[in-house]
Amino acid sequence: MPKDHSRPRRVAEQIQRELAELLQLELKDPRVGMVTLTDVEVTPDYAHAKVYFTLLNQGHSLEETLVGLNRAAGFLRSQLAHRMRLRIVPQLHFVFDSSVERGVQLSHLIEEAVSQESDKQDQEED
């Protein structure tokens, strides 16, 4: 009989929503700027959660933001305990998600290649 993995996924989604709200409204650490949470992965025993984030503004360095998030992990975990009513509130591990930046870079490369191709076709038509 296959295991049902929907509960860990639902818990991870709820953690992501709650953390996003906490980061926006409750966290006052100046090292943490505009952070977007892209995903949360929870272990099957709910002991640990990897929280993937990306930076919206480049005003804060990645290292500075990561230090701020790790320092706030205990506070965020305690706030999650009050909001979610879980028997086990996972320890939070913050991981930078570079996929958004890679996507933007690839989009720029594609746009550049398309514009070069259209320029080449325009020159051939003349």
Domain harbouring 22, CATH code: 3.30.300.20
How do residues 30-76 score in pLDDT, each as one tens digit? 888 888 999 999 999 999 999 999 987 766 688 899 999 999 999 99
- Look at residue 102 and tell me if it is in a domain: no
How do residues 67-120 score in pLDDT, each as one tens digit? 999 999 999 999 999 999 888 999 999 999 888 778 888 888 888 888 888 777
Total tally of structural domains belonging to the chain: 1
Contact 8, 70 (CB under 8 A): no
- Look at residue 26 and tell me if it is in a domain: yes
Burial class (CB in 10 A: 0-12, 13-18, 19+), 123: exposed
- Look at residue 110 and tell me if it is in a domain: no
Torsions phi, psi for 32 (to 5 deg): -100, 110
Contact 72, 29 (CB under 8 A): yes
Structural domain range at position 64: 6-97
- Look at residue 37 and tell me if it is in a domain: yes
Could you give the angle at the alpha carbon of 74 between the alpha carbons of 72 and 77, nearest 5°? 105
